[in-house]
């Protein structure tokens, strides 16, 4: 996945470091840091970043003037003004200079990331944003969960899932996601894998003595832990998003099809010694 | 106490308010049951989850024929022979609208809620476990077609 290039224009080393820090766990990457308007112009021409953060006060010009000049190089330049003061006259002068968004110091990391995502959506694509910032959090959660719950380590693959249906024979635990983005997660596996999974989780030597309910309850609990951890991973980065999980709805049966119209979905697959453990994460369009 | 009869009314009100706006006959409340743990699918089951001051799930449960009737009515009477992607999308959308309306009704009762996106499940002979204990089922009669609401929500 290609990172989205960001140029930071700020004469303060601390401010530059803070912005870089805010973007660390995202798919945005600082490709250039300019301390002056002159540096900003030459770096913009060289790096062609997807988005620019612009401080209002620079040693050799103000941020509005600098933005105007950047727009002369690239009339589609996406610029976010970051200033200590934010009043109507600044905003209107900034708009005229082609600045797209205005944030006030101290910047809230989520506001910054959200603003960048919105501005760059055409360039990076919504799918890339969802994959990098959201779906990957569930890949880590699945790996961590499998290790801690059943002692299975291994790779988990993440791919965009363009199937209209999820075909399941065995168990599917559906857990809703609320907040932003809204969606749902489904952890699913075959009946055989479910029985082996629950035997390990419950410390049994074999799956033979387990009832159907024991087996499905274990997988349900594991799914709850894994999806909960995925959401925590996301909330750690986007601190005011407050994503939450609904209680699970657990489906058992054969030849079940689960459809989620209008969702962008990702499939996470872990091939393990007890079988394939799958997770499907879907996010709603819009908002 | 896992179930609370008071919490059923916002869902019934949602059905009786929203469906007529979409051109359905006046829905009537048919039967009410207390059930345990699993909802037995009638063929098409849409599950939507709740968080915040209410947690749980609601399942809109119906036969494939009822689902086709609903999809057809929603699509201005267009015949629906197969329960295809477009029909599934219509049923999901209806579930979403009903749940959003129920959420508004719950908010009016002082209960703030968030809802997840609907997951539509199709198949024969499957069950959905939505509760550790008891939950309530309401059957709504929509022009002779039964839409079952399995409501497993509890206040936090």
pLDDT digits (tens, 9 = 90+) for B114-128: 999 999 999 998 999
User: CATH no. for residue A120?
Assistant: 3.40.50.2300
Range of the domain at A209: 135-284
What is the overall mean pLDDT for chain A? 90
CB contact under 8 A, B119 and A249: yes
DSSP string, A220-238: HHHHHHHHHHHHHHHHHHS
In total, how many domains does chain A have?
2
Q: How many CB pairs under 8 A join A and B?
A: 123
Domain co-membership, A144 together with A107: no
Residue A129 forms part of a structural domain: no
What distance in Å separates the CA atoms of residue A92 and residue A82, rounded to the nearest whole number?
14
User: CATH no. for residue A216?
Assistant: 3.40.1550.10
pLDDT of residue B3 exceeding 80: no
Domain boundary among A70, A91, A124: A124
Structural element, H or E, at residue A193: helix A191-201
Domain boundary among A66, A101, A124: A124
What distance in Å separates the CA atoms of residue B22 and residue A107, rounded to the nearest whole number?
45
Chain B contact for A261, CB < 8 A?
yes
A237 or B25, higher pLDDT: B25
pLDDT confidence band for A131 (50 / 70 / 90): confident
Mutate to test the interface with B, among A246, A248, A255, A281 (most CBs of B within 10 A): A246
CB contact under 8 A, A261 and B88: yes
What distance in Å separates the CA atoms of residue B86 and residue B109, rounded to the nearest whole number?
35
The pLDDT tens digits of the residues spanning A133-188 come to 789 899 999 999 999 999 998 889 999 998 888 999 999 999 999 988 899 999 99
The pLDDT tens digits of the residues spanning B73-130 come to 999 899 999 999 999 999 999 999 999 999 999 999 999 999 999 999 999 989 999 9
Looking at chain A, which residue has its C-alpha nearest residue B117? Answer: A183
Chain B contact for A247, CB < 8 A?
yes
Domain co-membership, A158 together with A279: yes
Range of the domain at B20: 5-155
Domain co-membership, A194 together with A119: no
Q: Are A80 and A116 in contact (CB under 8 A)?
A: yes
Residue A185 forms part of a structural domain: yes
In total, how many domains does chain B have?
1
Residue A130 forms part of a structural domain: no
Mutate to test the interface with A, among B45, B116, B122, B127 (most CBs of A within 10 A): B116
What distance in Å separates the CA atoms of residue B85 and residue A112, rounded to the nearest whole number?
38
Domain co-membership, A44 together with A158: no
pLDDT of residue A237 exceeding 80: no
CB contact under 8 A, B49 and A179: no
Chain B residues within 8 angstroms (CB to CB) of chain A: 41, 47-52, 55-57, 59, 85, 88-89, 92-93, 114-130, 152
Domain co-membership, A17 together with A93: yes
What distance in Å separates the CA atoms of residue B45 and residue A256, rounded to the nearest whole number?
11
Domain co-membership, A159 together with A67: no
Domain co-membership, A67 together with A169: no
Which residue among B50, B55, B121 sits closest to A258, beta carbon to beta carbon? Answer: B121
CA distance A223 to chain B (A): 14
Given this model, what pLDDT does residue A286 score? 60
Domain co-membership, A180 together with A235: yes
Domain boundary among A124, A148, A169: A124
CB contact under 8 A, A257 and B57: no
Domain co-membership, A14 together with A51: yes
- Strands B44-52 vs B54-62: parallel, antiparallel or unpaired: antiparallel
What is this model's ipTM? 0.93
Residue A103 forms part of a structural domain: yes
Which residue among B49, B88, B129 sits closest to A176, beta carbon to beta carbon? Answer: B49
The average pLDDT across B52-72 equals: 97
Domain co-membership, A86 together with A203: no
Domain co-membership, A30 together with A147: no
Which residue among A252, A261, A284 sits closest to B126, beta carbon to beta carbon? Answer: A252
Given this model, what pLDDT does residue A163 score? 87
pLDDT of residue B25 exceeding 50: yes
Give the CA angle between residues B22, B130, B17 to the nearest 5°: 20
Looking at chain B, which residue has its C-alpha nearest residue A260? Answer: B119
């Amino acid at each position: 996945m290609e990172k989205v290039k960001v140029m930071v224009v700020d004469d303060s080393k601390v401010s530059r470091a803070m912005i870089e820090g805010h973007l660390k766990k995202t798919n945005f990457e600082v490709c250039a840091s300019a301390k002056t308007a002159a540096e900003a112009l030459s770096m913009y021409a060289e790096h062609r970043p997807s988005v620019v953060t612009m401080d209002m006060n620079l040693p050799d010009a103000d941020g509005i003037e600098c933005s105007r000049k950047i727009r002369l190089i690239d009339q589609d330049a996406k610029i976010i003004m970051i200033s200590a003061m934010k009043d109507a006259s600044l905003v209107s002068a900034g708009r005229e200079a082609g600045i797209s968004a205005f944030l006030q110091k101290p910047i809230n990391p989520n506001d910054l990331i959200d603003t960048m995502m919105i501005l760059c959506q055409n360039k990076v694509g919504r799918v890339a944003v969802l994959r990098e910032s959201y779906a990957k959090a569930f890949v880590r959660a699945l790996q961590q969960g499998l290790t801690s719950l059943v002692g299975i380590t291994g790779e988990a693959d993440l791919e965009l899932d363009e199937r209209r249906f999820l075909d399941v024979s065995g168990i599917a635990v559906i857990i809703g996601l609320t907040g932003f983005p809204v969606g749902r997660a489904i952890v699913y596996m075959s009946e055989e894998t479910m029985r082996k999974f629950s035997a390990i989780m419950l410390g049994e030597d074999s799956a033979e003595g387990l009832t159907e309910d024991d087996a499905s309850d274990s997988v349900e609990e594991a799914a709850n832990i894994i999806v909960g951890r995925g959401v925590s991973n996301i909330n750690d980065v986007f601190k005011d998003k407050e994503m939450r999980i609904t209680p699970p709805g657990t489906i058992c049966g054969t030849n079940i099809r689960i459809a989620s119209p209008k969702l962008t979905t990702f499939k996470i697959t872990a091939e393990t010694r007890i079988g394939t453990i799958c997770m499907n994460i879907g996010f709603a369009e819009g908002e | 106490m896992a179930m609370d009869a008071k919490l059923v009314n916002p869902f019934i009100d949602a059905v009786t308010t929203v469906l007529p706006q979409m051109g359905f006959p006046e829905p009537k409340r048919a039967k009410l049951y207390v059930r345990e743990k699993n909802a037995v699918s009638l063929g098409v089951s849409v599950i939507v989850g709740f968080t915040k001051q209410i947690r749980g799930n609601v399942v809109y449960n119906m036969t494939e024929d009822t689902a086709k009737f609903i999809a057809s009515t929603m699509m201005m009477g267009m015949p629906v022979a197969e329960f295809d992607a477009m029909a599934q999308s219509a049923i999901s959308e209806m579930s979403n609208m009903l749940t959003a309306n129920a959420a508004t009704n719950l908010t009016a009762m002082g209960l703030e809620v968030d809802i997840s996106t609907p997951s539509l499940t199709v198949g024969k002979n499957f069950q959905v476990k939505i509760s550790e204990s008891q939950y309530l089922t309401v059957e709504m009669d929509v022009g002779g077609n039964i839409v079952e609401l399995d409501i497993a929500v509890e206040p936090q």
